[in-house]
């Protein structure tokens, strides 16, 4: 920042800095929309992107234009390359470069406040160069990136609390005791207040429907709102109008519905399963009521219902399916939602050709997908998967590519027009982004 002349402009930028294991991006989205509804000119930096890298940079709620992105991108690139040639300093890696790009963009544009989502951890994150943010927030904490952040909640929370600054208030949500103690310890060391956001129900909002679906989003909304007493109308407007792609999002194609949520930790998978179970049930009731006026509601989501639930899954090999599958299966089983078929697919983005032909490799490596399938089948043998008679003949399948999986689902839907196929897409935000890209 100093070499690019950005150190002083960044120090003058009003920043809201948010860390967390799950929900930090959604919290940032809530904060941004609340502030914009309150009349502030906003900048938002988040990660990762789903469809286009420009999604990471938003000005006044809008993804930056190609012209704006290219202008600041090449300014940063050219200056950093010049420094590399003159002083031998290596080019920063991708996320650090994008963070520099965000700072250049936000300090050059006319914004009142910038909301920064931590990329990974907090203490050593590139966004943590901000020395005097207006406030620091920590969303829900859990086990993730343990190879970097530590093996205990206390160690992970300590890394997240690395964004705390002396003289800057901090806020969090209800946390596991071990994690909360670590946050409090760091706040005490810095002699700063650490407030726990009150539940959204405190504000007596009735049946207010948030712009982001899922019960867990109420926790993120409460962290974003953080107000004493009655919420101003602008706050309520922000909570209702916020949008965040790929998080508890539903895309419908006639009787084929895709439920997308990029859960990649046990805690986020539990939240995802609760949302999917609720949304799938609600959709079934709505569709059944449209088609059959006199129908026993008790029959919904049973083997006789005209709906089938399918899992479309992938995750990185560093993720442990033995931690991800149980919360998904347990919640679905409790809610009488039967994932009759699990489809495992390889990554798609890594082999998307530049000419956009959507061709996959002739012989893709499916070894990891077969490992996932084996774990899934082991849970079936243990009785974790409901023993409903399977409409598809098999309980799991490995498909050679994501486009092939989507084509097959569309074929099944067309072949059985009276059947509502509900496909949960989860395990990786990259998978969610690829599905959105193909559906569009």
Q: What is the DSSP letter of 262?
A: -
Question: Which among 309, 216, 305 is positioned nearest to 258, based on CA atoms?
Answer: 309
Three-state DSSP at 62 gives: strand
Burial tier of 182 (Cβ tally within 10 Å: 0-12, 13-18, 19+)? buried
Give the length of the chain.
440
Question: Which among 349, 354, 360, 440 is positioned nearest to 399, based on CA atoms?
Answer: 360
CB 222 within 8 A of CB 235: no
Q: Is 247 annotated as a binding residue?
A: yes
Q: What is the DSSP string of 92-161?
A: PPHHHHHHHHHHHHHHHS--SEEEEE-SSSSTT-GGGG-SS-SEEEE-B--S-SHHHH-SSHHHHHHHHG
Question: Which among 386, 142, 152, 367 is positioned nearest to 265, based on CA atoms?
Answer: 142
Q: Is 145 annotated as a binding residue?
A: yes
Residues 210 and 76: their CA atoms lie apart, in Å, by 38
Detail the DSSP E strand segments found in 157-219. 170-172, 194-196
Alpha carbon of 297 to those of 91, 275, 286, 294, 304: distances in Å? 61, 20, 11, 9, 12
Q: Is 86 annotated as a binding residue?
A: no
Mark the binding-site residues, compressed into ranges. Answer: 47, 117, 145, 247, 261
Mark the binding-site residues for Mg(2+), compressed into ranges. Answer: 47, 117, 145
Mark the binding-site residues for ATP, compressed into ranges. Answer: 247, 261
């Amino acid at each position: 920042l100093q070499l690019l002349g950005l150190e002083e402009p960044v120090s003058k930028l009003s920043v809201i800095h948010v860390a967390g294991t799950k929900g930090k991006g959604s919290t940032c989205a809530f904060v941004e929309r609340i502030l914009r509804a309150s009349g502030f000119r906003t900048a938002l930096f988040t990660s990762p992107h789903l469809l286009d890298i420009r999604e990471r940079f938003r000005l006044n709620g809008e993804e930056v234009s190609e012209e704006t992105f290219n202008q600041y991108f090449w300014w940063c690139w050219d200056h950093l390359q010049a420094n590399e040639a003159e002083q031998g300093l290596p080019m920063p890696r991708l996320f650090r470069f994008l963070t520099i790009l965000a700072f250049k963009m936000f300090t050059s544009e006319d914004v009142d406040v910038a909301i920064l989502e931590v990329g990974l951890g907090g203490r050593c994150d590139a966004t943590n160069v901000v020395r005097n943010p207006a406030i620091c927030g920590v969303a829900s904490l859990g086990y993730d990136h343990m190879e970097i952040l530590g093996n205990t909640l206390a160690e992970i929370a300590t890394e997240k609390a690395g964004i705390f600054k002396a003289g800057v208030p901090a806020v969090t949500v209800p946390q596991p005791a071990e994690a909360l103690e670590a946050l409090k310890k760091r706040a005490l060391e810095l002699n700063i207040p650490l407030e726990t956001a009150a539940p959204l129900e405190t504000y007596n909002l009735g049946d207010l429907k948030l712009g982001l679906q899922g019960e867990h989003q109420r926790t993120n909304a409460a962290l974003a709102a953080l107000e004493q007493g009655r919420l101003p109308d602008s706050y309520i407007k922000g909570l209702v109008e916020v949008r965040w792609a790929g998080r508890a999002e539903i895309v419908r194609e006639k009787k084929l519905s895709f439920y997308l949520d990029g859960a990649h930790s046990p805690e986020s998978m539990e939240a995802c399963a609760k949302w999917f179970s609720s949304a799938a049930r609600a959709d079934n009731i709505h569709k059944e009521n449209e088609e059959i006026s006199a129908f026993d509601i008790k029959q919904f989501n049973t083997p006789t219902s005209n709906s089938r639930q399918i899992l479309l899954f992938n995750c990185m090999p560093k993720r442990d399916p033995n931690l991800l599958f149980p919360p998904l299966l347990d919640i679905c089983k409790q809610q009488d939602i039967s994932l009759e078929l699990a489809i495992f697919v390889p990554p798609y983005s890594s082999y998307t050709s530049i000419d956009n032909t959507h061709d996959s490799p002739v012989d893709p490596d499916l070894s990891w997908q077969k490992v996932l399938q084996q774990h899934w089948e082991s849970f079936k043998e243990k009785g974790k998967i409901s023993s409903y008679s399977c409409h598809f003949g098999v309980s799991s399948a490995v498909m050679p590519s994501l486009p092939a999986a989507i084509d097959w689902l569309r074929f099944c839907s067309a072949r059985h027009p009276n059947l509502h196929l509900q496909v949960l897409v989860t395990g990786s935000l990259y998978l969610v982004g690829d599905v959105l890209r193909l559906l569009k």
